[in-house]
Amino acid sequence: MSVPVTVNGDPQEIAADLKITELLHSLDITSGPVAVEVNGEIVPRSEHANYQLKANDKIEIVQAIGGG
């Protein structure tokens, strides 16, 4: 069973009860540190393995890039 969410502005279907860690893994996000926000609230890295995503969650995954 899958549920719709938004990841970085794009609609995606993810498995129901997916944890953030599993989402990051499925998106191949492995190089370098990231921060994750769900529905406007930052989810600390220490909670990624336990945090369960749900339908219509709005997820933002950010990194550090070049800037002035």
Residues in contact with another protein by CB under 8 A are 7-10, 27-35, 37, 40, 42, 44-45, 60-68
Based on CB atoms, which residue is closest to another protein, 35 or 49?
35
The DSSP string of 26-44 is HTT--SS--EEEETTEEE-
Q: Which of 64, 47, 52, 61 is nearest to 6 (CA)?
A: 61
- Cβ proximity to another protein, 13 vs 40, nearer residue: 40
| Nearer Cβ to another protein (15/42) | 42
Which of 45, 65, 43, 62 lies closest to 54, judged by CA?
43
Residue 7: CB minimum distance to another protein, A = 7
N-to-C CA span, the chain: 44
Q: How far is the CB of 53 from another protein (least distance, A)?
A: 15
